[in-house]
Amino acid sequence: MKKRASDISDMICSTLERESVLSLKTLGNRHDALSFERLNSDGSMRKFIRVCLRGEPLCIAVMPPTSEKKDMAEFRSALDIGRHLHSKGVPVPELIAANERFGLLIFEDLGNTRLHDKRLEDRKSSIEFYQETVKVLAHMQLAGADGFAYEWCYDSPTYNQKVMLERESGYFIDAFLKGTLFYEPVAGLLQECEELAEKVMSSWQPLFLHRDFQSRNIMVHRDRIRIIDFQAGRIGPPGYDIASLLIDPYAGLSDAEQDDLFQLYIGEMSKRNRACVSDIKTSYPYLALQRNMQIIGAFAFLFSRRNKSFFKQYLLPSLIMLQNRLADTAFDDFPLLRQTVSTAILEYRRSLR
C-alpha cells in the first residue's frame, strides 16, 4: 500500500526518536523544527528523503518502493552489507538508525556532491578524486571479501555466467536491441555471448564486487571519497568495478586518463594482493565489455520503459565506446557481436533524425 508523505515523516521521526538520535519532546512543535525533501533517485525505485532540523541537514532516509519480498530483501542487503563494509573501514555512510518492519534505513547526510559533479566542475582537478577513489576501491574489494556472507545478497551471491547472460549481454539484447530499436538479433549472437561469459569466468580471484561502481555512486564529502549504493554487492572478479569506474559514460574519461588510473589500480592491488594482478590484466577487456553492454541495457530500459529522459543522452556515447572496444584484437572471435553493434549504431542514429 502506498504511504502518504505524512505517514513517512511520522515513521522517520519515530525511528530517530527510538534510536535516541533526537528527542521530539525537546523540539516543541516538530512540524516547525523538521522538514523533509524528496531527493532524485536516478535509476532506483527506492525513496530517498533528506531530513533537515531547523533548516540544516540532519540525515538521509532510504525506503523501499513497496513492502514486497524482493524490495524488503534489498533493504536487508543494504543493512547487512553496509554494516559489514563500515566495520572493515570502507568509507560508506554511517548507519544512524533502521526500522526493519518498514525497511527504513537512516544514514548520515553526505551532502550533494558526487564524483560526477567534480568531473563536470573541472576535468583536470577531478583526477585527484579519481586517484583517491581507486585506492578506496582496492581496499574495499579486499577488506569487503574478508568475512563476507553470501546470505546477505538479495540478488545473486556471486557474479557468474547467469548474471552475465541475463543482466548484461541479455539486458543489451532485450532492453536495447529488441525493446528500443525493435531489432531482432542475428542467429548465433547468443552463442557468442555465452562464449564471452566463459572467457570472463576462466580466470579471476573472487573479491568483493560493488557492481555499480560509477561516478554517481561515489560521494565527495569534506574532500573525502564516500561510497554509496552498495546493496547489490556480492563476490566477483576484481577487474569489474575498476572497469565500471573507467568506462563510466557519465564521466567520459579519456583513454590516457583511463590508462593512468588502471595502472594506479594495478599498483594498489599489487601492494595488497599481488596474486590478483595477472587475473585482472587477463580478464579486464572482457569485463569492461560486459559492463558496457549492461550500461546500454540499463540506459535503454530507464529511458524507454521508465520514461527517464536523463539517460537518453548517454546511449550513443556508450554504443560508440562498445564499438571501439570490440575493435580490439581480443574480440576477433566475436564477429557477430561486432556486426550487431555497428548495425545498432546506424539504426539508433537513424531513429534520432
pLDDT in tens, 58-117: 999 999 999 999 999 999 999 999 999 999 999 999 999 999 999 999 999 999 999 999
Q: What is the mean pLDDT of the chain?
A: 93
My answer on whether 177 and 321 are in the same domain is yes
Domain end position, chosen among 49, 77, 107: 107
Choose one of 88, 107, 126: the last residue of a domain. Answer: 107
Count of domains in the chain?
2
Give the residue from 107, 142, 159 where a domain finishes: 107
- Identify the pLDDT of residue 3: 60
Kindly state the average pLDDT of the residues 1-19.
74
- Return the ∠ at Cα 126 (arms to 123 and 131), rounded to 5°: 130
pLDDT bracket for residue 136 (50, 70, 90): very high
Per-residue pLDDT, 62: 97
> Based on the domain organization, do 162 and 190 belong to the same domain?
yes
What pLDDT score does 1 carry?
Answer: 43
- One domain, residues 195 and 56: no
Looking at residue 147, its pLDDT comes to 97
Judged against a pLDDT cut of 90, whether residue 37 lies above it is answered with yes
**pTM exceeding the 0.85 threshold for the entire prediction:** yes
Q: Give me the sign of the Cα torsion angle 175, 176, 180, 183.
A: negative
State residue 114 phi and psi, 5-degree precision.
-105, 165
Residue, of 282 and 27, whose pLDDT is higher: 282
User: Which sign, positive or negative, has the C-alpha torsion 197, 252, 118, 313?
Assistant: negative
d(CA 192, CA 165): 11
Could you tell me the residue range of the domain that residue 158 belongs to?
115-352
**Whether residues 242 and 149 fall in one domain:** yes
Could you tell me the CATH number of the domain that includes residue 180? 3.90.1200.10
2-16, 30-44, 101-115, 131-145, range with the lowest pLDDT: 2-16
Does 91 share its domain with 156?
no
- pLDDT tens digits, residue range 287-308? 999 999 999 999 999 999 999 9
Provide mean pLDDT across the span 309-313. Answer: 94
